[in-house]
Structure 1
Amino acid sequence: MNYNFNKRKFLPLSIAIALSSTAYLSAQAYAQTEEAADDAADYEQIAVLGSRRAQARSAMETPSPIDIVDSQELMRQGSTNAIDALTAVVPSLNASREPISDAASMVRPVNLRSLAADQTLVLVNGKRRHRGAVVGEFVSGVNRGAQGVDVTPLFGAALKRVEILRDGAAAQYGSDAIAGVINYALQDDPETRMITAQYGKSYYNDGETFEVSGAYGFHLGDDGFLVASFQAKDSGPTSRGVQDGEGTNSGATALDAAGFPIQNPVVVWGAPEVSDDYKFFVNSGYDINEYVQAYGFANYATRDVDGSFFYRNPTNRQGVFASGSDALFADSTGEGCPTGPLPTTSFDDAQNFVNGAGDNCFSFFSWFPGGFTPRFGGNVEDYSIALGLKGELDNGLTYDVSVVNGENNLSYEIYNTVNASLGSASPTEFYLGAQIENETVFNADFSKVVEVAAFASDLNVAFGLQYHDESFEITPGDEASYTAGEFVSQGFSVGSNGFQGFNPSISGDFSRNSSSAYVDFEADVTDDLLLGLAIRYEDYSDFGTTTNGKLTARYMVNDDFAIRGAVSTGFRAPSVGQSNLQRAATNFNNGQLEELLVVSTTSPFAALFGGGQLGPEDARNVSLGFTTSLGDLSLTVDYFNIKIDDRIAQVTRELTPEQRDQLVAGGVAEAATVSQISFFVNDFDTETSGVDVVANYPINWDNSSTKFTLALNYTDTKVTNRGETVSDARAREVEDALPDYRTTFTVDHSFEPFNALIRVNYYGEVYESLFNDETLPVVTPSMFIVDAELAYDISENMSVAIGAKNLFDEFPDEWETAGFTGRDGGFLGAIYPLNHPAGLGGGSYYLRLSANF
């Protein structure tokens, strides 16, 4: 169905309705007692991640380091998405911004411990979350080529807490858990009644954001619950670049001075517009009897994304406006067209040159006299559903049997562009096709407590089976988005310019399945020593088998001090998308825009350069740390070391004329027009080590309280084996694209009816190859970002808050590289590093109204 809501009217109206409803309902609502609220707060600090024992533990008692972020903390960040809210409080977590990164602009990658987005396992209610459909082949830094989970559909109002296990856990949970595991626990309290409305805008009067979110719980008879949550949101675009300077790739400034009708700026560097952004979650459970509970949860989310691409200069864009140095005309009769370059010193001269051509000569200058910047985006649709039964048998064996199905669907669109080979018959907007990731996971998990006389506690024995079916589908776009029109022989480019649509020959449904079995033992061997052992075997239909193990230990030196550690092996299976993605797009290489063909790893193109079936990335994890309580001060310090072999790299190769002829002779007809290809291989090794420090210190005053929280992460990555694909610049990206040091210091002060929060975020030095071009290195010095919020309790059930993200409007330093300096004309109009984890949006403010009833 296609609902044409007017989003600019719909969301403000939703906010008004929500606020009115909230005011009415809160007047009739009941408040929780102080005792119940305290119990809820205590419960939020209990972790279920990292152990299969029924005994829950606080983050200070776990054998591996865990961060626990409760729902209140998620909702108080000023960020209207869970990604930014989490990265603000967990320094080992980073999330890059990806302007003009093709599909990656639609699904942001998230990194734990500076490893790639797909090296972290994501769970919802303890069940594996399906991947996103984006394979980030044009993403910068450590995420290049990664296919991680799209976590955008997970939002604060739907969540009870988020648990982040900062330790290798593939032996416990399976593939991807090299850097760790993030578990999103959904709201499950049937008494939940809350709604929040938030409005925000940047200091620069753009990036306007409207949001309404809420959750409502129900009792299902006397023995069940259901919590439904929603979020409706609109996010306006931002622009932080300048007009592209004279002498760079586009030279828009010079054309503007010559009277050409030029957009200012021609390339928009900033956040894309995200509209019709709707998210829904349902979480439920029902006790069938004293021993059996049925449960289920589901989500649906959709959003439209619209962002900028690079500028096409009307005087020199090859394949559209120019061929070599000559202006390009589509000759419909063969009578001949004018030769020579388009005049650039005067728009009138350029127009006269084009108008003077014969009727048989068509130039795209007549459509786009100021050139054009394609606008790229589309729709992201995501859903999942999980159903299960859990309970306990008469012999004490507990079980949890479940099935989860999830899908992420990216439908691509591009407009304000052309398929130049079609000449004047070309559309200016195209449907490009879709990438669809679908996964189904069957789990059967069992656990039994076994009495062991020699142990201080019973031995918990857990075991289980999993079947995982994955598919990655590519569907074709409009024929005009990929077809070679009649003017291709005259030098015009093929397909929608900027992002060629998927054609039927590369479309298809690619799949694999895997089966796994695990066993997990854990017990208090003595009153002071906890030991755990997990072993997991997995069999994949495409690359074979793998077996991994993990040993954990925690030793209480005294009541206030404990040592903990773990050693494990792990792996990440290559995604089906990485093995099978094929498409054509525009790449930035050696200062020029080029057409690049991404091919599957087993295609004839890849085979020509030694490509083949991808294998797993293999990891070895070691961690060692301690926890201590010194009065009211709690402190955890954990060292980690992660070695990964055979990491997947993206290879780009130039095709020689001889190689093209060889492929064409072998039946690969499309090779005739391809000069550059890219594909994935297992090729390089890394070692990542570092330290996490988390300290909490609460102070209770006479009429107020203050909580101080310090979280510090130091992570250092080294490429220990470059293989055949990793250049000096690429190695430096892997090592330094994310800051070595990340620190957050938070002061949270409550003095009823007010609450004040201030947070200081520190980012260490960061490196990037600008536009993914190794000839444009950029180093950004360390920087501080300060966030602040002041909240006021209007009543027992309603509060209002005003706050600022990046209070002092800090930006990464304007970059200097390759003879270009930031604001002095920039390069393609960019003046700031494009992928710094602090972003390039500058300061923003927000107003939030919340109610519990």
Structure 2
Amino acid sequence: MSKQALNRTMLSMSVLMALSATAGFSGTVHAQEKQVEEELVEKIAVLGSRRAQSSSTMETASPIDIVDSDQLMRQGSTNAIDALTAVIPSLNASREPISDAASMVRPVNLRSLAADQTLVLVNGKRRHRGAVVGEFVSGVNRGAQGVDVTPLFGAALKRVEILRDGAAAQYGSDAIAGVINYALEDDPETRMITAQYGQSYYNDGETFEVSGSYGFHLGDKGFAVASFQAKDSGATSRGIQDGEGTNSGATALDAAGFPVADPVVIWGAPEVTDDYKFFLNSGYDINDNAQVYSFANYATRDVDGSFFYRNPTSRQGVFASGSNVLFADSTGEGCPVGPLPTTSFTDAQNFVNGAGDNCFAFFSQFPGGFTPRFGGSVEDFSIALGVKGELDNGLVYDFSVVNGENNLSYEIYNTVNASLGAASPNEFYLGAQIENETVVNADFSQAVEVDAFSSDLNIAFGLQYHDESFEITPGDEASYTAGEFVSQGFSVGSNGFQGFNPDISGKFSRNSTSAYVDFEADVTDSLLLGLAVRYEDYSDFGTTTNGKVSARYFLTDDVVLRGAVSTGFRAPSVGQSNLQRAATNFNNGQLEELLVVSTTSPFATLFGGGQLGPEDANNLSLGFTTRLGDLSLTVDYFNIEIENRIAQVTRELTTEQRDLLVAGGVAEAATVSQVSFFVNDFDTETSGVDVVADYPLDWDNAMTKLTLAVNYTDTKVTNRGETVTDARAREVEDALPDFRTTFTIDHTFEPFNALIRVNYYGEVFENLFNDESLPIVTPGLFLVDAEVSYDIDENMSVAIGAKNLFDEFPDEWETEGFTGRDGGFLGAIYPLNHPAGLGGGSYYMRFTANF
């Protein structure tokens, strides 16, 4: 039995056990009743303020969205990423087909800024970054090293809070666009299990999942909640066969009898197997005034996706040298010179087979060419330990230490290290990228009576130590070594993604210390004021100081004005400064080898590289909230100016520069066409408006909740520096839609519930394959999701639903009169990075038991 089949069998057994076990459970809380009760309770926010007294989201000084566990679980998508983007229009998450490591870790964007410009917390504690540096990602995420949020799943979460405001002065680096806090389930009475099956309308993308959470008491003074998810996700394919006349066209070869796969390139979601996630959240009261707490997670998944096709007639460094067949001459006796016949497969075979025993061509192994398969495993874990409480004098304290690690081990198969000739293996372990972070916090808060104020003055202060490391471990020797045939023009390393060699491997570290102070009080019955200042000292680039002033004013009992002004920053990641590797890039209609080098390497210095500094931001937000009868409405304007944004520089190598790299010991540079690294180089201004409206309707035997959320975001590149081209500037400005809207109708008529959600994505721009010679514009797009659920009894419910009910796709791309449907450019017919995806419609069925 294959590993995948065994895994699917294990999941099937888990579902059967879950279904049989729940048949005898007697629950105490009806899931639908619990949902209705929660709708009647005003959502309370704890993010964005360190006061012991929390405020409703209608009364906070900064806009906050709260998505509870019920909303997270009632989605066709079985991950928190898609669940959040479905209900929060200022949040986007693109899929990245054939983006190397970025295909394994999806970037998430708040307010159209890069993934690493949003701070991610779990239970209020900083979450470690993912190990992926997205050097081949499209749009605003190019070069970003954000958090891998995939291990955070719905069954483990009590709710998610999204602070849509600059908060670096409160929480530190990355909080330019805002903060997302994942609050873990902490109810010891939680007993829940869910099984879900889904599939696309095209009979692929099959998804099978079991998840659940189980809470229990630790004596009379503690709690623990254990959560899990086990999941398999099949691959999807939405392209066509690669046509004639392109860099790697396969149609003509197929017609001539070459054994060519159809399609040769798979455009769609990768296959994800052995996808297991676990969370444990716990706390124990030492006494009435102190509690120890801990939470931890472990997650692992295997990813397998497609790369670009290698044409047997034209792939340079593997099959061809110029227009001639590339032979590995093992004796020096000489080999035939000439192109591979393409009109007849038999003629091609005869040409290669007649070359002589000393002449080897990869055509003999891959007569139809080959498409490397790339992926590997992602392993993620973290653990947090802390103690919090209140002293007799009213001082509130929280001491904590958090350690987390994200480990990406890369593998590639169905490819070769061409420089090894016939001795090359076809599978390679490429090495790993590992991000490890330890954060130590000491946080304090004291309420001080001030006669002139309507409330106590809350004074919060604290210290933080943050240690970060980014490690590169080497792969198999065959994945990076320069074989004996490199001098004959064969490419070095596993083709598609070269393994990390010992020379560029290593562990790169930095640390930082910070101190903050935060004041907040109701100065009058109507006016709240807040002030925060934070100082940080980094071991690599130096210090930074940031501040924030916020205010909230009750104009009337039902109208609240709010606003904030702040400065912020994002420290460059250790990975951005030190990543080095070789890969394949699409440039001017051709596949070329590209070498990524560290920012301080001599090769980057040759083109103006150097130590990265922080990105600096200025944030402004102004808004109001109001209640008009049962209608709740919030409107917020924001403006974010960012200077010294990190850009990825790509430079063409001249023959002299290539020779310099080889002479410096970088043998793989012999066939490299481009070199890439990161610099601080451009400025942007992002402004927009968020509108959220909720309106409940009560019927005799039913209840309907209407929710409209609208986001308008406009980004302008105000200073292009030395690196940002016109095409890159437009990508930063328009790769994510200016307008995003969601409208949700949630209707409960026991024992049924029906949900319809309409999502609108505005016009977006994309450089196809990240190639500036292929600009495309995709018009706006409406998607509709729908679900109907039925309560079997107090404990069990079933649901059926559809994502993208009407099977909508982004318009097929077109540029300069040429379209993807013509079969050109690798068989991709849809935009590759549209935030709505290119999967089309899918359906799902879900069973849930509460006991």
- Give TM class, smaller chain: over 0.9
* C-alpha distance in 2 between matches for 1:658 and 1:253: 38
Matches within 5 A, 1:398-797: 398-662=396-660, 674-797=672-795
- Aligned residue for 2:321? 323
CA drift of 1:146 comes to 0.1
* C-alpha distance in 2 between matches for 1:673 and 1:89: 47
Equivalent residues of 1:69, 1:163 under 8 A apart: yes
> Which of 149, 163, 166 in structure 1 is aligned with 2:164?
166
- Aligned residue for 2:193? 195
Superposition TM-score, scaled by structure 2 size: 0.98
- Aligned residue for 1:391? 389
- Aligned residue for 1:266? 264
> Against the structure 1 CA distance between its residues 380 and 44, is the aligned structure 2 distance closer, same or farther, given a 3 Å change threshold?
farther
Equivalent residues of 2:245, 2:824 under 8 A apart: no
Query: Is residue 2:202 matched to residue 1:208?
Result: no
Partner of 1:288, secondary structure, is: strand
CA drift of 1:139 comes to 0.2
Equivalent residues of 1:820, 1:827 under 8 A apart: no
Equivalent residues of 1:551, 1:567 under 8 A apart: yes
What amino acid does structure 2 have at the position aligned with 1:707? K
Partner of 2:731, secondary structure, is: helix
CA drift of 1:431 comes to 0.1
Identity of aligned residues (%): 85
Partner of 2:311, secondary structure, is: coil
What amino acid does structure 2 have at the position aligned with 1:95? A
What amino acid does structure 1 have at the position aligned with 2:416? V
* C-alpha distance in 1 between matches for 2:658 and 2:822: 42
Partner of 1:337, secondary structure, is: coil
* C-alpha distance in 1 between matches for 2:235 and 2:32: 43
Equivalent residues of 1:125, 1:184 under 8 A apart: yes
* C-alpha distance in 2 between matches for 1:350 and 1:454: 91
> Against the structure 1 CA distance between its residues 113 and 37, is the aligned structure 2 distance closer, same or farther, given a 3 Å change threshold?
closer
Equivalent residues of 1:242, 1:826 under 8 A apart: no
> Against the structure 1 CA distance between its residues 663 and 838, is the aligned structure 2 distance closer, same or farther, given a 3 Å change threshold?
closer
CA drift of 1:672 comes to 5.2
- Aligned residue for 2:254? 256
Equivalent residues of 2:595, 2:669 under 8 A apart: no
> Which of 104, 124, 138 in structure 1 is aligned with 2:136?
138
CA drift of 1:328 comes to 1.0
CA drift of 1:77 comes to 1.3
Query: Is residue 2:63 matched to residue 1:65?
Result: yes
What amino acid does structure 1 have at the position aligned with 2:839? G
* C-alpha distance in 2 between matches for 1:671 and 1:72: 53
CA drift of 1:31 comes to 2.7
- Aligned residue for 1:186? 184
> Cα deviations across residues 668-692 of structure 1 (Å, max 9, x unaligned)?
6665554421000000000000000
Equivalent residues of 2:592, 2:672 under 8 A apart: no
Equivalent residues of 2:134, 2:141 under 8 A apart: yes
CA drift of 1:40 comes to 5.2
* C-alpha distance in 2 between matches for 1:154 and 1:669: 41
What amino acid does structure 2 have at the position aligned with 1:236? G
Equivalent residues of 2:32, 2:791 under 8 A apart: no
What amino acid does structure 1 have at the position aligned with 2:286? I
Equivalent residues of 1:775, 1:818 under 8 A apart: no
> Against the structure 1 CA distance between its residues 803 and 36, is the aligned structure 2 distance closer, same or farther, given a 3 Å change threshold?
closer
Matches within 5 A, 1:216-255: 216-255=214-253
Partner of 2:821, secondary structure, is: coil
What amino acid does structure 2 have at the position aligned with 1:781? P
> Cα deviations across residues 774-808 of structure 1 (Å, max 9, x unaligned)?
00001000010000000000001110000000000
CA drift of 1:660 comes to 3.9
- Aligned residue for 1:359? 357
* C-alpha distance in 1 between matches for 2:771 and 2:549: 42
What amino acid does structure 1 have at the position aligned with 2:399? V
* C-alpha distance in 1 between matches for 2:639 and 2:316: 48
- Aligned residue for 2:281? 283
> Cα deviations across residues 200-257 of structure 1 (Å, max 9, x unaligned)?
0000000000000000001000000000000000000000000001111212000000
What amino acid does structure 1 have at the position aligned with 2:331? T
Partner of 1:410, secondary structure, is: strand
Equivalent residues of 1:67, 1:165 under 8 A apart: yes
Equivalent residues of 2:491, 2:671 under 8 A apart: no
Which stretch of structure 1 is more off in the superposition, 362-371 or 708-717?
A: 362-371
What amino acid does structure 2 have at the position aligned with 1:367? Q
CA drift of 1:337 comes to 1.2
* C-alpha distance in 1 between matches for 2:798 and 2:388: 41
Partner of 1:558, secondary structure, is: coil
What amino acid does structure 2 have at the position aligned with 1:20? S
CA drift of 1:363 comes to 1.1
CA drift of 1:335 comes to 1.2
CA drift of 1:761 comes to 0.2
Structure 2 unmatched ranges of 5 or more: none
What amino acid does structure 2 have at the position aligned with 1:139? V
Query: Is residue 2:21 matched to residue 1:21?
Result: yes
* C-alpha distance in 1 between matches for 2:428 and 2:64: 46
> Against the structure 1 CA distance between its residues 832 and 31, is the aligned structure 2 distance closer, same or farther, given a 3 Å change threshold?
same
What amino acid does structure 1 have at the position aligned with 2:842? S
* C-alpha distance in 1 between matches for 2:812 and 2:271: 24
CA drift of 1:813 comes to 0.3
- Aligned residue for 1:87? 85
Structure 1 unmatched ranges of 5 or more: none
CA drift of 1:381 comes to 0.1
* C-alpha distance in 1 between matches for 2:826 and 2:577: 33
* C-alpha distance in 2 between matches for 1:852 and 1:41: 19
* C-alpha distance in 2 between matches for 1:298 and 1:42: 32
CA drift of 1:7 comes to 1.9
What amino acid does structure 2 have at the position aligned with 1:81? N
> Cα deviations across residues 388-432 of structure 1 (Å, max 9, x unaligned)?
000011111000000000000000000000000001100000000
Equivalent residues of 1:792, 1:799 under 8 A apart: yes
Equivalent residues of 1:44, 1:161 under 8 A apart: no
* C-alpha distance in 2 between matches for 1:56 and 1:658: 64
Partner of 2:316, secondary structure, is: coil
Partner of 1:13, secondary structure, is: helix
- Aligned residue for 1:9? 9
> Cα deviations across residues 277-324 of structure 1 (Å, max 9, x unaligned)?
000000000000011100000000000000000000011111111111
> Against the structure 1 CA distance between its residues 35 and 236, is the aligned structure 2 distance closer, same or farther, given a 3 Å change threshold?
closer
> Cα deviations across residues 596-633 of structure 1 (Å, max 9, x unaligned)?
00000000001111110000000000000000000000
Partner of 1:641, secondary structure, is: strand
What amino acid does structure 2 have at the position aligned with 1:114? S
CA drift of 1:653 comes to 1.1
What amino acid does structure 1 have at the position aligned with 2:296? A
Task: Please give the root-mean-square deviation of Cα atoms over the aligned residues, in Å.
Answer: 1.5
Equivalent residues of 2:165, 2:621 under 8 A apart: yes
What amino acid does structure 1 have at the position aligned with 2:12? P
* C-alpha distance in 2 between matches for 1:33 and 1:704: 16
> Cα deviations across residues 623-667 of structure 1 (Å, max 9, x unaligned)?
000000000000000000000000000001122233344556666
Partner of 2:175, secondary structure, is: coil
> Cα deviations across residues 422-446 of structure 1 (Å, max 9, x unaligned)?
0110000000000000000000000
* C-alpha distance in 2 between matches for 1:497 and 1:849: 45
What amino acid does structure 2 have at the position aligned with 1:772? N
* C-alpha distance in 1 between matches for 2:31 and 2:426: 61
Equivalent residues of 2:409, 2:430 under 8 A apart: yes
